[in-house]
Amino acid sequence: MIQTINTTWKCAAALAVVGMMAAPGVASAASVSEIVAKYIDATGGREAQEAIKSAIIRINLTIPEFGVQMEATAYYKDGDFKSVTAFPGMGEVIQGVTDDVPWQMNPMEGNKVLEGHAAELLRQANSFNPLLNWKEIYVSAEILGEEGGATIIKFISDSGNADTYHFDNESGLITKHKGTGLDGTAVTRIFNEYKKVGAITFPYKASVETAQVNLDATVVAVELNAEIDDGTFELPPEIRAQLPQEPGAGFTAEQLMAFMDTNGDGKIAKGEMEALKTSFEGLDKNGDGEIDAAEANPPRKDQTASPQQATGTVTAEQLMALMDTNSDGKITMEEAPEDLKAGFSLIDANGDGAIDLKEAQTMADFANNQ
């Protein structure tokens, strides 16, 4: 539950650095384990929490300074996770973990498979209570001291990411969390108004404090072991198209759609097929209905044509030779033919504005699987 609110806030604002206030100190791992065990007991106990196989949590978010209100919903089921936050005037930000693939659909930052720090945090979020098995997530933990009647513990993941929790000495519940957002900047979250849902205790109100914006959150509904259709966690076509393919696996339906659906309406129109046909006809110089090796690999300006035996396949090298007009080893948007420009960003997997030889292999695979 704590991590649910954390993840929702991470996509709700650009987060700035917040300083830590705890006095340093060191304690044994056993002491940390005892404090975490008290927290697990205070929130319903290990057995009750491990019995939760799915959940739906609905949250209202407010930015008081601007009077902005948002709605967020988080879904959990069998290790998969998805959060949907509706931003007024901007649409939805969707983040998820499906079959261990962390991803986001974000109109402000783009639709992409997440990596590095962002991927690590989102994978933590797909656990209903990450501290239930904290030793699987963190490689070290130490007690930093006390503040306001709470013991402060700093947890470090194997990537060096730090999470600092304040555990109330009397109740055992978490009152504060200091960590980072998906963008790596720092944020402080304060939790209060714990309530029970069945055997589980949740914080129903919380606030986030950053140098740029403050957010308030109120849980409006919690459904434990809820009926959730598996399709809820299905990877969007835009995300599936970005996943690496097994050698020889060819193109997925999603990749073909992303490549050929030039207007992004979710279907391939006759005009879009005609554009592909025009590209084919442009390469088929002798009009025999096939692209042979000579047509796929025309001579450069500084080369003379050499006879080749037609192979019936197109190679990445041939496509590079055809389109790389300045011979710098990459195909820029300016060099790309018109019908390729619509799908240029899909093929340019590393987003550097050019298609290199490795990325040109994607086009070759597409051509060879037709």
List the alpha helices (DSSP H) in the chain. Answer: 2-10, 29-42, 46-50, 116-125, 237-240, 253-260, 270-283, 293-296, 316-323, 338-341, 344-347, 357-368
Co-location of 249 and 204 in the same domain: no
Co-location of 153 and 88 in the same domain: yes
CA quadruple 335, 339, 341, 346: dihedral positive or negative? negative
With a cut of 50, say whether residue 194 has pLDDT above it.
yes
CA-based nearest residue to 59, from 47, 48, 69, 44 = 69
CA atoms of 323 and 300, how far apart (whole Å): 10
Co-location of 127 and 143 in the same domain: yes
Give 196's contacts (C-beta < 8 A, 6+ positions apart): 44, 202
361 vs 14 pLDDT, higher one: 361
Last residue of a domain, which of 233, 253, 271?
233
Instruction: Give the per-residue pLDDT at 299.
Output: 46
pLDDT digits (tens, 9 = 90+) for 307-363: 333 344 677 887 888 888 888 888 888 888 876 776 777 787 778 888 888 888 877
The Cα-based distances of 25 to 28, 146, 153 in angstroms read 11, 9, 10
- 13 is in which domain, residue-wise? 2-233
List the alpha helices (DSSP H) in 84-115. Answer: none
Please name the amino acid found at residue 92: E
- CATH code, domain carrying 142: 2.50.20.10
Co-location of 7 and 29 in the same domain: yes
Co-location of 75 and 187 in the same domain: yes
Residue tagged 């080369």 (tokens): 303
Query: How many folded domains does the chain comprise?
Result: 2
Q: Report how far apart the first and last C-alpha atoms of the chain are (Å, whole number).
A: 48
Co-location of 319 and 225 in the same domain: no
Q: Are 73 and 83 in contact (CB under 8 A)?
A: yes
pLDDT digits (tens, 9 = 90+) for 116-174: 988 988 888 777 788 999 999 899 999 999 999 999 999 999 889 999 999 999 999 99
Co-location of 265 and 163 in the same domain: no
pLDDT digits (tens, 9 = 90+) for 90-110: 789 999 999 999 999 988 888
Beta-bridge partners for 215:
208
Co-location of 20 and 68 in the same domain: yes
CA atoms of 334 and 183, how far apart (whole Å): 32
CA-based nearest residue to 277, from 260, 294, 253, 254 = 260
CA-based nearest residue to 273, from 281, 265, 263, 261 = 261
Last residue of a domain, which of 175, 210, 233?
233
Q: Are 302 and 312 in contact (CB under 8 A)?
A: no
Average pLDDT over residues 66-78: 92
Last residue of a domain, which of 196, 213, 233?
233
CA atoms of 48 and 122, how far apart (whole Å): 24
Q: Are 336 and 323 in contact (CB under 8 A)?
A: yes
Beta-bridge partners for 83:
74, 95
Q: For 89, left (φ over 0), alpha (ψ -120 to 50), or beta?
A: left
CA atoms of 175 and 126, how far apart (whole Å): 21
